[in-house]
Structure formats: C-alpha cells, structure tokens
Amino acid sequence: MANGPYHWPTDPAIVGGQGEIRFGIDADGEAVALKLASANKSAKEALRREINVLKALEKANVPNVVRVLQQVDHGGRPGMVMPRYTNTLRDWIDVILAEPDADTLALVLVRCRTLATALAGVHKVKLEDGGALVHRDIKPENILMDAHGQVYLADFGGALAVDGLAAVEMGLFGTPMWAPFDQILPGLAIPDPTWDTYALCVILYACVTGARPAYQADPRELLSEQGLKLWDVAKLAIHADGDHQRTLRVEFALERQGTSAEDLVSMTGRSALNDADRRVLMEGVDRLAALAQVPDDQIQRLKRGIWGVLVRGLSPLSHPSPPNRYRDGAELADALQDLYRLAFDNGPKTDILAGPAPAPDVFINASEPPKNTESGTPLLVLGIVVVAAVALIVGGASLLTRLSKPDATVPIPASTVTLDGLDVRVPPFLLDRDEVSRQDWMRCVDAGQCVVPTITGSPDDPVAGLSFDDALAYCEFIGARVPSEVEWHAAAGSDLYPWGADSPTCNHAIAAGCSDVPLPPGSARLGATANGVNDMAGNVWEWAWIGKGGDRGVLLGGSVHSPASELGRRARLLPSRDALPELAGVRCAYDAPG
C-alpha cells in the first residue's frame, strides 16, 4: 500500500480496537508512521477530530506535540502520517526503574517539566467548536519519544473542549491508574485542565518510585458507598470488550446518575498522600539523588520540595476557586524547574536540558586560586567580593522595592504586651503589612541568599514551606529581621483575634473551610488589625523568635488548615530548629526610624 510519497508494508505493526499503526518510509527514506482508523463510524470520527486537534495545536505553535505530516484516506478510512517515534515514555520508565544512572533524576525532572509546558500550550488552544482543550488521557503509553530523547504528547482522540464552567454528562473515558476520580467517576462534571496536570504528577511519582500513590492504585478508603459501586463498575467496563463492555457501560451510566465528584470522594481525616507514599517517595529520591551525586543538604530540600509538589498536584478533588491542583501547566512547569534547581543548583547540564548553558558561577573552584597578573589579587577573592557586592546591591534593591510600595510596612507604636503572665514593654518598630510573597522571596533566591521554597504557588501568594533559618536569611537579605514573639503580639493586638473579638469567618481569616491553599494578601478583607496589618490569623503560619539570643523560632497565627479555635493569639507552635513546616511563612520587622 502506498499513499503519495509514502510506502507502507501490507500488514500493520499494531492493531487495536480503534484502528492500526503501520511503519514505513517517505520518498527520502525517512522513517514515518501511519495511524489508520478502523472501519467503524466512531473510530473514523475520533481520528478525524484528532487530526483537527493536532493541526490546531501546530498552528498555535504548541511545543512537544506529535506532528501530522499528511492527512490520508485509505478505502474510506481516515489516516494520518506522523514522524516515526522510536519509543514511548513507558519504555523509558521501565529502563530507568531497572537501571537508573547519574542522569536519571535530571531527566525525570526535565522531561516532566517539558510535558507540563506542552500541556500549558494545549490548554490555551481554542477549537472552532468550543473552548480550550483537555487531553483526558495523559499516561506513559500516550507520550512518544524520538531518537534524541525528546518527549511528545500523543493520542488526542479523546480530547475534550472546556466551555467555561459548563458541566457536561461525562462518558466513561480515561485510564483509572492515571486519571483522577473526578474525571472517571461522576456523571456530571466540568471538563478540567487539572485532570491532565494530575495525571502528569502520577507519572512523576511513578518515575521516582516505580509505583503509583496508594489511593490512586486502590482508592476504596477514600470513596463513599456510591463511589465504591462506581469504581468497581468503571474498572470492569474500561477493560471489558464487546457486548460485555456495552452492558457494563450502561450499568455505569445508571449508577452515576445525579452524582458529582464530591458525592463519591471523602477526604475527611486524611491527606492526599499517606505515610507509606511518603516513605516510598523519599527512598526513590534518595536513590536517584545519590546516583546524581547531589549533596546531602540539597537532597533534604529536594525531598521536601517534591513532596510539596505532589501533595498539591495529586489532590483527589479539584476545586475551581481556589485551586488545590495545578490548574495551569505553566505553573507546574515552574514547580518542576524549582525542583531541578534544588537538586542541581550548580548549573544544569546542557546535554540534558538541550538548551543554552547558564552563566558560569562567579566562584572559581581551585585549591590554588590563580592570580590576576596585573594586580596580584587572587581571582577567588575577587569573585567573592563581586558576589558579595551583587548580593548587597540586589538585597538593597529588594528592600528599596518593598519600601517603595505604597504602605508596604506599617508603623507599630510602643505598647505593653502581656505574655505568659508577664508584662513586656515593646518599643516602636515597623512591620511588613503583608506576609512575604513568593515573588519577593525569589529575588533572594536569584541573588543566591535564599533557597527555593518547598511549596509552590503564584507570584502573589505568600511564600510557604520555610524553616526558621530560611526566615532569618530572607529578612537579613532585605536589611530587616524576623520579629520577636512579643513584637508579633504587639502588632496583632490584645484581642483574641487581630480584628477584635468577633467570631472568625472567611472574610476575617483564610482558614479551615475557606480554602485549601494560601491566598494572596488581604483576601480576608475584614481580617486586618487596627494598624492595618493583613492576615495575622490564618493563611500561613508566621515565624517569630524567642529565647535570650533569639536563637529559636516559634510559629504564630495559624494557617489555611487551622480551625477557628486555633487562630490568632491561641495559634502557637514550637517546631525544632531544623523543622520545615509545610505552611510556614514570614513577615519581616524593621527598627523604627530615628
């Protein structure tokens, strides 16, 4: 069989229920593949739609998506010619699980980041018949790889358009071992881009551990009675064939009537990932990081970082406002880049990243630093001076930027604070109006004075996942300091809550029942103190210092997970010095002028 310049063997290489794959060559002898629909109407329509989707993605310059070289017709059956991709991500995962090497960790992070960037492009493309796209079947078998190791999203036959917040009656589609419950189970659902970012996070977990999260592999402890019925029928229906599959799909449709994801999944009393998941994940990171010769201190931060990414990305339920998964592939890509930097902060390997090399480090690694022949000044010393000067300049710029923002800091007048039965006189000082944002924190990271935070978020969100030492380093970087516990209470006021004695609502504090993730400063519009300081109850915990030398940290105010009974003055935690609480942030204090 031949179409135009392409030559194909008579027999297909792969045959499936929806069609077949043939491998051939083009007129120049280059390897190509033909995806040909089977004779049934639904398969033909699915492939024609996939071709239209891929053409729209190519027109929009979405990276790392399979290309359509030509659309063909063979006896009334539509087909598309593609480049010949040598492997799937499934093949590569099998290899790295059996024989990981020094490059495996970097390749896992880079390839998952590449796929997240591709998803960001997919989700932005608008089709002629509706809104933006959701792939709906992200799994290793649907990710192709070329001979150079580049990855490409494939199999868009089940892609669904997102039309705002319009709910649709969902057909049974997807693969349970990769798809989230709110895609597989409910009868009525809003097509959601987080279905794709969730599946990519499952792939990341599988690359590191060789398994899937416990609740993803066996969700029964998270499902309601109705959810259990649907799950059992869904698994059977997806893997069944012929008349038996049709019967099971009808049974599934009857069972799911009137249900939503919230009816089927219950998160009461537990988090998305359990202790067994954490142990397996940490062991996997330890193994790959050791092969990559990542320093021990960076391994610890990498483990906390990857745990934070997956706890968020693998949440069993997705809520549009606020999101508790990665609603944007670009945001997930940024988080994965942060993880790469945690592991390889001495500069990426250009052969792995397939991009330009970063600027070399200023420090010169040499036991006998060379001399500048003109001045005799050791270049190592000069490098240190340059780095120190850059840090000072960037730090000063960061401080000036923060203080130049309208009302960035709030003057706190002198007062007397009663703490633990003692009256303590607190001199006047200045305090950040808002918790330190991720955007401000990253300036410190870029200057080499702070570590990449373990919890990701948008630039305006408060930074979270900090140790006490992290908080000290940042405030020192901007020419400030971490407030003492009595200073924090002086700013929060003497009432039970920062806003007064009124019982807390979601307008007062971002706390349990209001959101699953921290929100930008001032989101709780009634929660400011009398002096105008925002979010001193809820959102993220805030570090302050205690002890004679200020050598120990205390967390105050509560977080987005705190119940009303543990907000404000009653919210106090004493972690160990090296603890890295998941939702620990900071705001900085300054001496009063004059």
Task: Tell me yes or no: is domain 405-591 CATH 3.90.1580.10.
Answer: yes
- Return the CATH class of domain 87-346: mainly alpha
Express each pLDDT in 258-281 by its tens digit: 666 666 666 544 456 777 888 899
> What's the pLDDT band for 100 if we cut at 50, 70, 90?
very high
Mean pLDDT along residues 367-387? 31
Express each pLDDT in 295-314 by its tens digit: 988 998 899 889 889 988 88
Mean pLDDT along residues 502-529? 85
CB 11 within 8 A of CB 39: no
> What are the two backbone dihedrals, phi and then psi, of residue 193, each rounded to the nearest 5 degrees?
-60, -25
Element (H, E) at 546: strand 541-546
Chain centroid to CA 41: how far?
39
Instruction: Give the integer Cα–Cα distance in Å for 500 and 507.
Output: 13
User: 64: helix, coil or strand?
Assistant: coil
What pLDDT is recorded for position 151? 95
Instruction: Give the integer Cα–Cα distance in Å for 587 and 522.
Output: 14
Q: Is the pLDDT of residue 234 over 80?
A: no
User: 544: helix, coil or strand?
Assistant: strand
Q: In DSSP terms, which residues pair with 573 in a beta bridge?
A: 555
CATH code linked to domain 2-83? 3.30.200.20
Q: In DSSP terms, which residues pair with 437 in a beta bridge?
A: 462
What pLDDT is recorded for position 217? 61
Tell me whether strands 584-585 and 541-546 are parallel, antiparallel or unpaired. Answer: parallel
Instruction: List the domain boundaries for the chain.
Output: 2-83, 87-346, 405-591
Q: Is the pLDDT of residue 544 over 90?
A: yes
> What's the pLDDT band for 4 if we cut at 50, 70, 90?
low
User: 249: helix, coil or strand?
Assistant: helix
| 444: number of Cβ within 10 Å | 24
Express each pLDDT in 15-51 by its tens digit: 776 788 888 888 888 888 888 888 888 788 888 888 8
User: 563: helix, coil or strand?
Assistant: coil
Q: Is 347 left (phi over 0), alpha (psi -120 to 50) or beta?
A: left
Q: Which of 582, 118, 106 is nearest to 333 (CA)?
A: 118
DSSP 409: E
| Mean pLDDT computed over every residue of the chain | 77
Instruction: Give the integer Cα–Cα distance in Å for 212 and 280.
Output: 10
Statement: the pTM of the whole predicted model exceeds 0.75: no
Mean pLDDT along residues 69-75? 87
At residue 415's C-alpha, the angle toward residues 410 and 420, to 5°, is 115
DSSP H helical ranges for 11-168? 41-59, 89-98, 104-124
The per-residue DSSP string of 15-47 comes to: EETTEEEEEEE-TTS-EEEEEEE-SSHHHHHHH
Q: Is the pLDDT of residue 126 over 50?
A: yes
Fold match flag (2-83 vs 405-591): no
